[in-house]
Amino acid sequence: MKISSRTKKILKILLENDDYIVVENIADQVKVSSRTILRELPKVQKWLNKHNYKLDKKKGTGIRLDCSKEEKANIKNLLNIENVENYYSPEERKVIILSELLKSQQPTKLFNFTMLTNVSEATISHDLDEIEDWVKAYKLKLVRKPGLGVFIEGKETDIRRASINLLYENLNLQELFNLMQNKFSEDSTETTRESLSRSRLLNLISLDTIHILDRFIQEIEENLEYKMADDSYIALMVHLAIALKRIKKGEKISIKPKILDELKKNKEYVIASGLVKSIANAFSVEIPEAEIGYVTMHLKGSKGRGGIYSDQVSMTEDYRLVFLTRKIIEKAELELGIYLEDDEQLLVGLVRHLEPTIHRIKLDLDIRNPLLDEIKENYTDLFAVSKKCSQILAEEENIEVPESEAAYIAMHLGSAVERKRKPVTKYRAAVACTSGIGASRLLASRLSSEFDNLEIVGLISTIDFDNQKLEDMNVDLIISTVDIQDSNFPVIVVNPLLNNKHQKQIKEFILSHKAKKKHKTNKISLKEKLEIINNYNQRILEVLNNFEIYNNYKHENINNLISFASEKLADHNSDIKEIENDLKRREELGSTILEHKNIMLLHCKSTSVQELKFIIIRPKNEFELVNKDNKINKINIVVVMAVPMHRSEQGREVLSEISRLLIESKDFIKSINSGDKNEIYFELAEYFDQFLQEKSTMEYHKEEN
């Protein structure tokens, strides 16, 4: 019985580990995807059964060889004399054939494939039968013409989507990341056949263009309000690399004019235009306008990177997402039986995650989660709860939510559950991930939960890794899901789900290393605390002093409404036009509507506003407003808020508190519906009094060297 070189590698890894090992860890060592390892495991089991040995699988922990040291030594001897299969596996042949067919739509004779894979035409014909089902999933057609050859036929968008997914199915995120970092190299243990299989797959993209594309994408990030998450960054890179190669072959993509017109209204379209122009000039190619549309989709669907604890949510800007997230958290509380409403980190994390996720689903962009299989297997109950939570997202946004997204929600909920335990911390660790913020948060919370002497001081990106920043953070070590070759600090590579072996590695580090001297954290002085509280006082006074209500407003259209609001917000006539433009720019991004309360929230930041402004407009008659999804909303209250362009953090919090009341307080809504200015003012003052008391009793700290 001959075995494949990959089966042999997996067995050798199992021999080297006494403890359980997760599939993703094996995949990292073999340098293939987790799915490939899962497909290979039945062959491993079959070989072991033949020699009367067992593969021990433990749910939530991993796999290991169920045998003694003596038996392991015997297995090792058997492997040394085992003949390695001299032919490609069916899966490897499938990758080679698909790579060739997708690279060019010209007919290819079966003889060419027999020469590449060293099998008969009958075998290739059988492979093509299976490939036919694969391409159908992408609305493509496999055409076989005797005497002419075989080729793939279909729309350019579908061919690109199939090419991208073929890459993701066979190259894990680490390998794609290495391509971008110019660190990709063939493993020395890889056979010639495996090397050829991989090289054919990489023919779908032009490796010599990766470095140039990487530079251009880094440049556009400066124009975004956030850093793209690593997986979104890589997705855009893969899209551009494949698109560029296809354009050079004369293939052009199309997009519906209506969709393109909608995309042009977004600020991301301007950024995408600049990126596409730079690429066109660098590679001397003409890139059609449709490509700008697809790049815009990627930018709108990207996830921003940020610190674990420093992210903020504006109840004004993110009302719709906050409302949706609170419903998801309420559902999770009922299902899990755990109080989560007070977990600000969970709220912020889900809001930040859901915004690009909704964009990606509505733009028909794939959502990939490399940990999906492991989460389904190891966190069955949590995943079941997350699927119920994702149904809320599906109903509210009228979209179909894939399991990969439910798994991301499970990561956030898992983090919140883990945070219920608050350990004492001593060692300072930074967490590095390439799977997105959800995976980072889950890993960070697991670490804090499992180790009383670990303090997670922040998330770092493996794309723009900076030793100096880590030096400033005074870290003792980096705990990463991928290897970081250029680090000046100790790096422990772990699985995001943190298995027993990785916990042992971290414990060994803590035992063998001395923690650095910590920065002193002192309470701020009374004077500094009073200055902060006074800032809150001043901002609250601005809101109360500027508050007005306008009853019986005669509504005609949204432009007239904005003009009316601008007049009431402006202190001088010369400011009206600028405020009007700022309100319109914000409204173009999408109306903020409290659907169940029939309230429209009109808001903006403006250089023509010097103080916080809060006014209420009550139309004489209810009017209808159509949102971007063509859903009709009835409006009987318009809440208008404006903040100076460079207002302090305290000012933002004060206005966010008003938005929170609009969401959560029935009494505040009741007072607004009354139309009585004094009643609204009284309710607002009561809430602000409580808000200020909470801020006054808080402990404020500062960090010193």
Read off the CATH number of the domain in which 19 is found: 1.10.10.10
pLDDT band at 328 (very low <50, low <70, confident <90, very high): very high
Task: Report helix angle 230-248 to 173-180, nearest 10.
Answer: 70
Indicate whether 628 and 677 sit together in one domain: yes
| pLDDT beyond 60 at 521 | no
Residues β-bridged to residue 21: 63
Residues present in the chain in total: 705
CATH classification at residue 450: 3.40.50.2300
Q: Which tokens belong to 686? A: 């009561």
CATH classification at residue 565: 3.40.930.10
Q: Are strands 548-553 and 613-619 parallel, antiparallel or unpaired?
A: parallel
Residue 703 placed within a domain:
no
Q: Supply the mean pLDDT for the chain.
A: 82
pLDDT at position 196 is 52
| pLDDT beyond 80 at 515 | no
Asked whether the CA dihedral 392, 393, 397, 401 is positive or negative, the reply is negative
% of the chain at pLDDT higher than 90: 22
| pLDDT beyond 70 at 477 | yes
Nearest one of 190, 4, 207 to 88, comparing CA atoms:
4
pLDDT at position 435 is 47
CATH classification at residue 106: 1.10.10
pLDDT digits (tens, 9 = 90+) for 210-224: 778 888 888 887 777
pLDDT digits (tens, 9 = 90+) for 362-411: 888 888 887 888 888 888 999 999 999 999 999 988 999 999 999 999 98
Domain C-terminal end among 418, 453, 479: 418
Q: Are strands 477-480 and 427-433 parallel, antiparallel or unpaired?
A: parallel
Question: Once rounded to an integer, what is the mean pLDDT over residues 535-542?
Answer: 90
Higher per-residue confidence, 556 vs 305:
556
- Residue 445: CA count within 13 A, CB half-sphere: 23
pLDDT band at 209 (very low <50, low <70, confident <90, very high): confident
| pLDDT beyond 50 at 503 | yes
Indicate whether 651 and 671 sit together in one domain: yes
Rounded Cα–Cα distance for residues 456 and 345 (Å):
14
Residue 313 placed within a domain:
no
pLDDT at position 548 is 94
Q: Which tokens belong to 65? A: 């060889």
pLDDT at position 322 is 84
Question: Once rounded to an integer, what is the mean pLDDT over residues 547-560?
Answer: 92
CATH classification at residue 263: 1.10.1790.10
Residue 85 placed within a domain:
no
Domain C-terminal end among 36, 56, 80: 80
Rounded Cα–Cα distance for residues 96 and 355 (Å):
37
Q: Which of 34-48, 71-85, 105-119, 675-689 has the lowest mean pLDDT?
A: 71-85
In degrees and rounded to multiples of 5, residue 702 shows phi and psi of: -135, 150
Question: Once rounded to an integer, what is the mean pLDDT over residues 282-292?
Answer: 90
Domain C-terminal end among 483, 518, 553: 518
Indicate whether 68 and 190 sit together in one domain: no
Higher per-residue confidence, 629 vs 37:
37
Indicate whether 480 and 599 sit together in one domain: no
pLDDT at position 457 is 82
Residue 434 placed within a domain:
yes
Give Cβ neighbours of residue 429 (< 8 Å, ≥ 6 apart).
447, 454, 455, 456, 457, 475, 476, 477, 478, 479
Indicate whether 248 and 273 sit together in one domain: yes
Question: Once rounded to an integer, what is the mean pLDDT over residues 508-516?
Answer: 79
Asked whether the CA dihedral 644, 699, 522, 442 is positive or negative, the reply is negative
Indicate whether 636 and 531 sit together in one domain: yes
Nearest one of 198, 192, 160, 161 to 178, comparing CA atoms:
198
pLDDT band at 679 (very low <50, low <70, confident <90, very high): very high
Rounded Cα–Cα distance for residues 405 and 399 (Å):
12
Q: Which tokens belong to 585? A: 């720019």
Which value, to the nearest 10 degrees, does the dihedral of the CA atoms of residues 579, 582, 587, 588 take? 140
- Residue 629: CA count within 13 A, CB half-sphere: 12
Contact criterion met (CB below 8 Å) for 633 and 649: no
% of the chain at pLDDT higher than 70: 85
Residue 704 placed within a domain:
no
pLDDT digits (tens, 9 = 90+) for 589-602: 677 787 778 888 88
pLDDT at position 167 is 84
How distant is the alpha carbon of residue 201 from its chain centre? 26
| pLDDT beyond 80 at 421 | no
Residue 514 placed within a domain:
yes
Residue 592 placed within a domain:
yes
Higher per-residue confidence, 543 vs 306:
543
Q: For 644-660, give one letter per residue: b (16+ CB within 10 A) or e.
A: beebeebbbbbbbbbbb
Contact criterion met (CB below 8 Å) for 96 and 197: yes
Indicate whether 664 and 548 sit together in one domain: yes
Rounded Cα–Cα distance for residues 68 and 76 (Å):
12
* Max Cα-Cα span within the chain: 90
In which region does residue 398 sit, left (phi positive, over 0), alpha (psi from -120 to 50) or beta (all else)?
Answer: left
Task: Say how many C-beta atoms besides its own lie within 10 A of residue 448's C-beta.
Answer: 21
Question: Once rounded to an integer, what is the mean pLDDT over residues 45-67?
Answer: 86
Rounded Cα–Cα distance for residues 20 and 43 (Å):
19
Give Cβ neighbours of residue 567 (< 8 Å, ≥ 6 apart).
576
Residue 664: what residue type?
Answer: E
pLDDT digits (tens, 9 = 90+) for 150-197: 999 999 888 988 988 888 887 766 667 666 655 444 443 444 445 555
pTM score, whole prediction = 0.60
Higher per-residue confidence, 87 vs 47:
47
pLDDT at position 700 is 63
In degrees and rounded to multiples of 5, residue 133 shows phi and psi of: -65, -40
As for how many domains the chain has, the answer is 6
Q: Which of 132-146, 294-308, 535-549, 609-623 has the lowest mean pLDDT?
A: 294-308
Q: Give the start-end residues of each E strand in 217-354.
A: 227-228, 304-305
Question: Once rounded to an integer, what is the mean pLDDT over residues 629-653?
Answer: 80
Indicate whether 588 and 683 sit together in one domain: yes
Q: For 692-705, give one letter per residue: b (16+ CB within 10 A) or e.
A: eeebeeeeeeeeee
| pLDDT beyond 70 at 29 | yes
In degrees and rounded to multiples of 5, residue 340 shows phi and psi of: -125, -5
- Measured at the CA of 467, the angle between CA 463 and CA 471, to 5 degrees, comes to 135
Question: Once rounded to an integer, what is the mean pLDDT over residues 80-103?
Answer: 79
Q: H/E element holding 145?
A: strand 141-145
Indicate whether 398 and 487 sit together in one domain: no
Indicate whether 134 and 194 sit together in one domain: yes
Domain that holds residue 630: 526-697
pLDDT at position 191 is 45
pLDDT at position 2 is 63
Q: Which of 211-220, 433-442, 602-611, 650-659 has the lowest mean pLDDT?
A: 433-442
Q: H/E element holding 600?
A: strand 599-606
User: Helices H, strands E: what count in the chain?
Assistant: 29, 19
Indicate whether 631 and 532 sit together in one domain: yes
Rounded Cα–Cα distance for residues 610 and 642 (Å):
9
pLDDT at position 184 is 47
Residue 195 placed within a domain:
yes
Indicate whether 240 and 179 sit together in one domain: no
pLDDT at position 190 is 46
